[in-house]
Amino acid sequence: MNGAIARANQVTDQSFQSLPPGSQGSPHSSALLELDHVNASYGPYKALFDVSFKVPEGSAVALLGTNGAGKSTVARVISGLVPVESGSVVFGGREITGLPVWKIARAGVAHAPEGRSIFASLTVEENLMLGFALRVGESSPSKSVKEALEKAYAAFPRLGERRRQLAGTLSGGEQRMLSLAGILTIPPKLLIVDELSLGLAPVVVDEVFDTLERILEEGTTMLVIEQHIGRALEIADSVVVLSKGRVVHDGPVRDLEEIVQEIMPRPEE
């Protein structure tokens, strides 16, 4: 594990710093993340009904389901963007339900949302620096951000070539790459990726999934929401399937691959 990653993993909120690795002797001890009977709504529209599942530490769980099933809502609930109406979200043995977004991020949860979460009027480098500044280096932030930038440019050379270019003038694929580079460069404890491959050329999707696999090997736990079911299943240890806001399947990939292919149309690869 290199320095930047080690440091990133040390960046925790005060309330998490006393937590030993692998968590406490709670019923959640094998799971890094556990959702327990989570209900959530957008105003009067109820999006999640009693959603419960676990993401074991060090594993990758694929969260699948048709359009509108509630996948992105689950991601937003975990990262604190959508409030939990009832039920709980436990991360690293501690309840994070109701914590503000920044505290959940500091605790080690990174959420790569759908679409391109970039600032169009800032340069590529400024976008990366903003992302890194939140997540690196307690002692020497500028040095850590510089290291992180170098890592990002090594992993995504095209961003290095365009570092002074305004992000809004990048191609769609490059913008997606930029929004990912900020997260993939400093792997968190839990990475939630939402439709990562959307809008990326197949060769770039390959690069991104290679990076995900490397990060998984380095110890980051993952919740992978992905339209390319085949790719998601390649990387995942287990699958949770949502339908109309409810969990309809939860089990190891080997048991579910056929079912998932039956209930979901496989997009063109």
Ligand X SMILES: Nc1ncnc2c1ncn2[C@@H]1O[C@H](COP(=O)(O)OP(=O)(O)O)[C@@H](O)[C@H]1O
Q: 207-216: long-range contacts at Cβ-Cβ below 8 A with a sequence spacing of 24 or more?
A: 207/156, 208/177, 208/180, 208/184, 209/234, 209/235, 211/155, 211/184, 212/60, 212/184, 215/184, 215/187, 215/191, 216/60
Q: Nearest to residue 35, comparing CAs of 78, 5, 3, 69? A: 78
CA distances from 160 to 125, 174, 179, 251 (A): 8, 11, 14, 41
Closest contact distance (angstroms) between CB of 251 and ligand X is: 19
Q: Is 33 helix (H, G, I), strand (E, B) or coil?
A: strand
Binding segment for Mg ion (CB under 5 A), chosen from 57-65, 71-79, 146-154, 170-178, is 71-79
Closest contact distance (angstroms) between CB of 114 and Mg ion is: 5
Out of Mg ion, ligand X, none, what residue 45 binds, judged by CB under 5 to 8 A for its kind, is ligand X
- Regarding beta strands 60-64 and 238-243, do their DSSP bridges make them parallel or antiparallel, or are they unpaired? parallel
Closer residue to ligand X, CB minimum distance, 33 or 69: 69
Out of ligand X, Mg ion, none, what residue 131 binds, judged by CB under 5 to 8 A for its kind, is none
Cβ neighbors of 131 (< 8 A, separation 6 or more) are: 182, 183
Binding residues with ligand X: total (CB under 6 A): 11
- The Cα 41–Cα 231 span in angstroms is 30
Closest contact distance (angstroms) between CB of 207 and ligand X is: 24
Closest contact distance (angstroms) between CB of 87 and ligand X is: 16
Binding segment for ligand X (CB under 6 A), chosen from 41-49, 93-101, 105-113, 165-173, is 41-49
Binding segment for ligand X (CB under 6 A), chosen from 42-50, 92-100, 156-164, 210-218, is 42-50
Out of ligand X, Mg ion, none, what residue 73 binds, judged by CB under 5 to 8 A for its kind, is ligand X
Closer residue to ligand X, CB minimum distance, 73 or 179: 73
State the first-to-last Cα distance of the chain, in angstroms, to the nearest integer.
33
Out of Mg ion, ligand X, none, what residue 65 binds, judged by CB under 5 to 8 A for its kind, is ligand X
Closer residue to Mg ion, CB minimum distance, 71 or 176: 71
Closer residue to Mg ion, CB minimum distance, 9 or 72: 72
Q: Is 72 a residue that touches Mg ion (CB under 5 A)?
A: yes
Cβ neighbors of 169 (< 8 A, separation 6 or more) are: none
The DSSP element (H or E) to which 102 belongs, if any, is helix 101-106
70 DSSP assignment: S
Around 177, how many Cα atoms within 13 Å sit in the side-chain half-sphere? 27
Closer residue to Mg ion, CB minimum distance, 72 or 211: 72
Which 58-117 positions form the footprint of ligand X (CB under 6 A)?
65, 67-73
Q: Provide the binding-site residues for ligand X, judged by CB under 6 A.
A: 42, 45, 47, 65, 67-73
Q: Under the rule (CB under 5 A), what is the footprint of Mg ion?
A: 71-72
